Amino acid sequence: MRELINEVFARRFGNELLAALDDAASLNAAGPLAFTTDAFVVKPLFFPGGDIGKLAVCGTVNDLAVMGATPKWLSASFIIAEGLDEEVLTRVVMSMAAAADEAHVLVACGDTKVVAAGDADELFVTTSGIGVYEDGKPARAPLAAGDKVIINGPVGAHGLAVLVAREALKLEAPLVSDCAPLGSLCAAIKRAAPGVKFMRDATRGGLAAVLNEAVPPNLNIVIDEKEMPVDEAVAAAAEILGLDPLTIANEGKVVAVVPAAEASAAVDAMRAHPLGRRAAIIGEVVAGAGRVLMKTAAAGTRVVNMPVADQLPRIC
Amino acid sequence: MRHLSEYRDRRLVEKLASAISGIAPADRVVTLMEVCGTHTMAIARFGLKQLLPASVRLISGPGCPVCVTPKEYVDRAVALARRPDVVVATFGDMMRVPGSEGDLATARAEGADVHVVYSPLEAVEAAAAAPDKKIVFLAVGFETTAPATATALRVARSRGLNNFYLLVAHKLIPPALGALVEDGSAGLDGFLLPAHVSAVIGTAVYEFLPRRYNIPCVIAGFEPVDIMAGIYMLLRQIRAGAARVENEYARVVRAGGNVAAQRLLAEVYAVTDTAWRGLGPIPGSGLVLREEFAPWDAARALPVDVPATRPDAGCICGAVLTGTKSPADCPQFGVRCTPRAPLGPCMVSSEGTCAAAYVYAYE
């Protein structure tokens, strides 16, 4: 086990916090902190556009970033099924190291447990993360009628990419996960739109879940299906599989609600960022009763409810 | 025109909506029934009912194959799944249809081997990969799906796979339409006929509806433009006092249908009388495997003890399927019956009328 830790983890994550290999990492932060955790059980471990390691880093980094915090430190704990190829583990860890570099975070501490082969499905990863509120508080404020809803790019890719990889579905469409760290994009949104009221990454449950979580009981959110970016490959695959792109998980998409006056500055700032080239205003907040509505491409309006069942298990 | 874009063109849909308002009757309400579950879902998903004038009432029919399958079938599937030597392979939306003692999803959680597949050929592959197990594919669906299961069976037979079985509950649409009109309670002025069923069976099979019952019929595709055009064509017939079978979906549906698919069906299946949830027994409305395929027929080859069927408590699915009640009329809708905890199949099937209302329109 010591070998595993030294060889694979300490070497690949390479930072002095971890290298101390003490019982805990000692951190220094002044001011209010954001703290989050997430477990990753995605199957298969590797899929187009990512893997469990990259997911584990980006997922937790993004939860901090959308709060308006600057992600700083992660912990990473691994539950490994006995017999897992060491090469697989190394690939995962290398991927995590690369993602951590890209996200400018340090993996400060970790843990490993090996369990009997049947007791865990290859590998489970849990990451916790700490971020610093540079402005002293979360980027959250009550929504108001007139606020605009913005997304940074097309939806539906991640869940489909994992599903297709897992089920080995013979779809020709190139489906690639959008897994990416959103720290610098969220920072750009905050700079361009300091009055940003809400940001959330559209993971499990997709855009539909985020909008339903965001809408307060005295307002409605109305989005326009025509403004919602969806790649043709995703739309086609979703159509064949009977899935709604609105409800499919993403791992590199942030939904932001900003005051109307700051909306175009926010979109411009996002489009200047590699992860926001196709940012678009997709809707707005209006007076209402806690509903999310969508003006469909065909003209009629329909309700967008909180997605009901777990459409796609083990996609993150 | 391209499937995902032009047939969903907003301006076209709005033009059709205007045209519909222009020829809709001023003095009475006409009731049009769309029969196919995919139509039900498409109409709900695109909010098309809002574009229709008050004098045009669009109701849903029994075109959800999972919904019209009697509970006894689910019970038999669950009993088969519980056999340790059986793997049940099924389309996803059968998983949570309530049986008398739980659904397939619960059976799986309790250790039964149940797999969701996207095609019956996957079940054939599963049989090839696991010779020590009996793979039972739940063959539910109308004329659109039946040729695929027939193909899967022929593939299994040609590969010498004796551990592949079908539990057949395929049903035929035209006899159900006749039963609905005979019943009369829905007061129908026209049928929006299913798209892909018609692609298989052609258009002539529906002629008895205008001829015997004077009911206008239009076969329509599933995109918003198709549906609105289909409704317009029905109203046009109604205004002219005409009754015939028209085909809006001519880009896919040919008058003779898909002859190869029809031959496949005739080779593998025989027509039988069968019971429909909500409509009761309808003569000549079901398919059963021909005698030579008996070794692959789960109903004949794999006996199981099936519990006595318990009726769905408070579920008015039957009335919803015949168009005599709508989901809004059901006191359980959204209260004690939700997609997470359904009382009956209409709320949990991907083509269920109640599911469509709940997911897309529930306020």
DSSP letter, residue A10? I
Q: B362–A291: do the CB atoms touch at under 8 Å?
A: no
Write down the pLDDT at residue A309. 64
Give yes or no for residue B282 having a pLDDT over 60: yes
What pLDDT score does A127 carry?
97
- Give the DSSP H or E segment for A113: strand A106-115
Pick from B70-79, B87-96, B281-290: least confident: B87-96
* Chain A residues in contact with B337 (beta carbon < 8 A): none
B51/A299 CB distance under 8 A: yes
CA-based nearest residue to B124, from B163, B97, B85: B163
Q: For the segment B155-194, what is each residue's pLDDT rounded down to a tens digit?
A: 999 999 999 999 999 999 999 999 999 988 778 999 999 9
Q: Sort out which chain A residues have CB atoms less than 8 A from B126's CB and list them.
A: none
B45 interface with A at CB cutoff 8 Å: yes
To the nearest whole number, what is the mean pLDDT of chain A? 91
The answer to whether residues A74 and A107 touch, using CB atoms and an 8 Å cutoff, is yes
B363 CB neighbours in chain A (<8 A) are 291, 303
Q: Residue B246's beta-bridge partner residues?
A: B218
Contact (Cβ atoms closer than 8 angstroms) between residue B191 and residue B35: yes
Cα dihedral A300, A305, A309, A314 sign: positive
* Nearest neighbour of B4 by CB, restricted to A235, A291, A296: A235
CB B282, CB B274: distance < 8 Å:
yes
Share of chain A above pLDDT 70, in %: 95
pLDDT at A240: 81
Separation CA A69–CA A140 (nearest Å)? 11
Q: How many CB atoms lie within 10 A of CB A86?
A: 11
- Contact at 8 Å (CB) between A189 and A196? yes
List of residues 6+ apart from B211 with CB closer than 8 A: none
In terms of Cβ atoms closer than 10 Å to its own Cβ (0-12, 13-18, 19+), residue B111 is: exposed
H or E segment at A306? Answer: none
Distance CA B63, CA B33 (A): 10
Strand runs (DSSP E) across chain B, as ranges?
A: 30-36, 56-63, 86-90, 113-116, 134-141, 164-170, 190-193, 217-219, 245-247, 269-276, 280-289
For an interface test with A, which of B118, B121, B337 has the most A Cβ atoms less than 10 Å from its Cβ?
Answer: B118
Q: Taking the complete model, does pTM exceed 0.90, yes or no?
A: no
B361 contact A CB<8A? yes
**Which of B8, B49, B359 lies at the smallest CB-CB distance from A308?**
B359
Q: Please report which confidence band the pLDDT of residue A166 belongs to, taking 50, 70 and 90 as the band edges.
A: confident
Spell out the residues 6+ positions from residue A230 whose beta carbon is closer than 8 angstroms to its own. Answer: A154, A155, A156, A245
Q: Any idea which residue has 């408590």 for tokens?
A: B313
What is the predicted pLDDT for the residue at B38?
Answer: 87
* B220-264 residue pLDDT tens: 999 999 999 999 999 999 999 999 999 999 999 999 999 999 999
Whole-number Å distance between alpha carbons of A150 and A267:
7
CA distance B338 to chain A (A): 9
Nearest to A184 by CA among A278, A294, A66: A66
- Starting at the earlier edge strand, list the strands of the sheet with B217-219: B56-63, B30-36, B190-193, B217-219, B245-247
> Could you tell me the strand order of the sheet in which B113-116 lies?
B113-116, B86-90, B134-141, B164-170
**Chain A neighbors of B338, CB-CB under 8 A:** 308
Tens of pLDDT, residues B292-341: 999 999 999 999 999 888 877 788 888 888 888 889 899 999 888 988 88
pLDDT at A133: 96
In B248-315 the beta strands, taken as DSSP E runs, fall at 269-276, 280-289
Q: Chain A: nearest CA to B308, how far in angstroms? A: 29
Question: Nearest CA of chain A to the CA of B273: how many Å?
Answer: 31
* A262, HSE (Cβ side, Cα atoms, 13 Å): 20
- The pLDDT, as a whole number, for residue A292 is 96
Residue type (1 letter), A118: G
Q: Which of residues 145-184 of B touch A (CB under 8 A)?
A: none
